Amino acid sequence: MKQIINFILKVFFFIIFFLVVTPVGFLLRLMGIDYLKYRVEKNKDSYWIEKSL
């Protein structure tokens, strides 16, 4: 019984991921929104961020 429930949960989360997370990612990419600041800026010398303790 535990194996069946485990399988059903894996399938459920797989479906949720592809019905919710993936389309949101595609929409953000199409709109040009970059929350992770993943784009490379060629005119920058360094991406290092100074942090004070």
- Whether this model's pTM surpasses 0.85: no
Convert the pLDDT of each residue in 19-39 to its tens digit: 999 999 999 989 988 888 777
Q: How is the chain split among helix, strand and coil, in percent rounded to 5? A: 55, 0, 45
* pLDDT grade for 13, boundaries at 50, 70 and 90: very high
**Helix (H/G/I), strand (E/B), else coil: 14:** helix
> What is the sign of the dihedral through the CA atoms of 33, 39, 42 and 48?
positive
Task: Please compute Rg for the chain using Cα positions.
Answer: 19
Q: Which two tokens stand for residue 20?
A: 């919710």
